[in-house]
């Protein structure tokens, strides 16, 4: 069941890639060596392990996979690779030989390869210098024109296919089920450590997928840190805490932050929470196809100003980021600085306004949205009040 869904997502990406590639070249070569390349996950629905490669061509996809990892692509065999070839190898030398053999078949063609400067296109680059030299050498032998894949990968992955968006909707639902079930269990209470809470979440997440990123559980004064590292701190009565977590399900990532309080919160906490809720609603009301990436962030900042909180001082990050196969996916951030780019259709974003008061506390609320030509879809909505434990 899940596998079929995954295959449908992969097929939708392959089709999109094949249509788009004509604008940039003929084939797309992805090689993952060492650091796992998300483009392998994107095409094959699995984490790259060691050396792996994929070459997208008109009719199919060549897959280069270590003999020991052969079982990884079991889900692709019948459907995806019907007309394609699987090339197995053991060790670097055999890998090189396989790549060379296949490249020989594409003499005279234009191949997009993922060795653009990583500062420019971090999502497209992971090739080692040695491997880059090698591929360039083969290209020279076979008169292949190598082109940087950066722009192509950017355009391909910034917008999502309907299948990817459907997976994200389900992903967010499952994510919230996990959150609700842990909160309703009533186990989060004074004496429990941040680490113990994180462990609860990890336990549930692995039953359906994997974490999109390292979970953040921040409590008490730790909530003043936007990127807190989970600690041994024990929850205390009248604490505030935030939990920032996400699930990677069917290769799509959710990212949610919720704010909880134990006992009775101070007035400042209540006022801050209200301001953050309002900022989030105001921001979301501006998000639509054709709006600039700055508009929602500016709306959130204006709301904070109206509530008497200087956003320059207390809202110290951007409003949101693209979601997709990576939790920080391809695309501009929602920031007041991105004034000259407009939001396209079929993108997914987080909306996460926050206020942080150094050494005191902080509140962040994060929801996920999908932007379509027909309007915005808010996949989930943070509660109007903190969640009382």
Residues at the contact surface with Mn ion, assessed by CB under 5 A: 255, 350
> 13-23 burial, b if ≥16 CB within 10 A, otherwise e?
bbebbbeebee
In whole angstroms, the minimum distance from the beta carbon of 155 to Mn ion comes to 23
CA-CA-CA-CA torsion sign (113, 114, 115, 119): positive
In whole angstroms, the minimum distance from the beta carbon of 336 to Mn ion comes to 17
In whole angstroms, the minimum distance from the beta carbon of 385 to Mn ion comes to 22
d(CA 243, CA 249): 19
What phi-psi label fits residue 102: left (phi over 0), alpha (psi between -120 and 50 degrees) or beta? alpha
Both structure tokens of 55: 């070459």
Q: Give residue number: closest CB to Mn ion.
A: 255
In whole angstroms, the minimum distance from the beta carbon of 328 to Mn ion comes to 7
d(CA 255, CA 321): 10
- Cβ-based nearer residue to Mn ion, 175 or 350: 350
- Cβ-based nearer residue to Mn ion, 150 or 311: 311
Give every CB contact of residue 112 below 8 A, 6+ residues apart in sequence: 21, 24, 25, 27, 28, 29, 147, 148, 149, 152
- Cβ-based nearer residue to Mn ion, 106 or 349: 349
In whole angstroms, the minimum distance from the beta carbon of 213 to Mn ion comes to 8
- Cβ-based nearer residue to Mn ion, 242 or 304: 242
- Cβ-based nearer residue to Mn ion, 84 or 333: 333
d(CA 161, CA 166): 9
d(CA 27, CA 35): 23
Contact 106, 142 (CB under 8 A): yes
In whole angstroms, the minimum distance from the beta carbon of 369 to Mn ion comes to 12
Burial of 384 (0-12, 13-18, 19+ CB in 10 A): exposed
What CA–CA distances, in Å, run from 293 to 128, 227, 255, 306, 343?
A: 34, 23, 19, 21, 6
Both structure tokens of 321: 């980021």
In whole angstroms, the minimum distance from the beta carbon of 223 to Mn ion comes to 15
- Cβ-based nearer residue to Mn ion, 222 or 350: 350
Contact 44, 7 (CB under 8 A): no
- Cβ-based nearer residue to Mn ion, 63 or 259: 259
In whole angstroms, the minimum distance from the beta carbon of 103 to Mn ion comes to 40
What beta strand segments (E) does 220-314 contain? 240-245, 247-249, 252-253, 256-261
- Cβ-based nearer residue to Mn ion, 29 or 216: 216
């Amino acid at each position: 069941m899940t596998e079929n869904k995954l295959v449908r997502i992969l097929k939708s990406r392959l089709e999109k890639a094949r249509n788009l590639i004509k604008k940039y070249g003929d084939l797309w070569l992805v090689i993952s060596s060492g650091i796992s390349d998300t483009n392998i996950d994107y095409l094959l629905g699995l984490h790259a392990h060691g050396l792996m490669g994929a070459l997208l061509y008109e009719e199919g996809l060549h897959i280069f996979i270590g003999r020991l990892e052969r079982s990884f692509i079991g889900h692709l065999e019948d459907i995806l690779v019907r007309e394609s070839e699987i090339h197995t190898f053991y060790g670097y030398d055999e890998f090189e030989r396989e790549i060379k053999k296949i490249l020989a078949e594409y003499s005279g063609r234009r191949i997009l390869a993922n060795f653009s400067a990583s500062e420019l296109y971090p999502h497209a680059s992971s090739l080692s210098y040695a491997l880059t030299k090698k591929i360039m050498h083969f290209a020279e032998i076979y008169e292949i024109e190598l082109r940087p894949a950066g722009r192509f990968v950017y355009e391909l992955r910034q917008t999502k296919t309907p299948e990817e968006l459907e997976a994200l909707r389900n992903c967010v639902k499952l994510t919230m089920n996990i959150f609700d079930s842990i909160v309703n269990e009533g186990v989060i209470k004074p004496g429990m450590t941040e680490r113990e809470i994180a462990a609860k979440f990890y336990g549930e997440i692995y039953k359906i997928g994997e974490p999109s990123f390292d979970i953040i559980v921040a409590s008490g004064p730790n909530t003043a840190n936007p990127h807190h590292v989970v600690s041994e701190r024990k929850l205390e009565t009248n604490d505030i805490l935030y939990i920032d977590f996400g699930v990677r399900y069917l290769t799509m990532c959710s990212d949610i932050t919720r704010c909880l309080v134990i006992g009775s919160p101070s007035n400042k906490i209540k006022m801050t929470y209200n301001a953050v809720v309002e900022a989030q609603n105001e921001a979301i009301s501006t998000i639509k196809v054709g709006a600039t990436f700055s508009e929602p962030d500016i709306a959130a900042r204006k709301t904070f100003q109206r509530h008497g909180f200087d956003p320059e001082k207390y809202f110290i990050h951007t409003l949101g980021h693209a979601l997709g196969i990576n939790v920080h996916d391809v695309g501009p951030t929602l920031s007041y600085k991105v004034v000259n780019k407009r939001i396209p259709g079929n993108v997914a974003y987080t909306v996460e306004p926050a206020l942080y008061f150094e050494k005191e506390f902080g509140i962040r609320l994060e929801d996920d949205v999908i932007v379509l030509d027909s309007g915005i879809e808010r996949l989930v909505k943070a509660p109007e009040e903190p969640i009382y434990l």
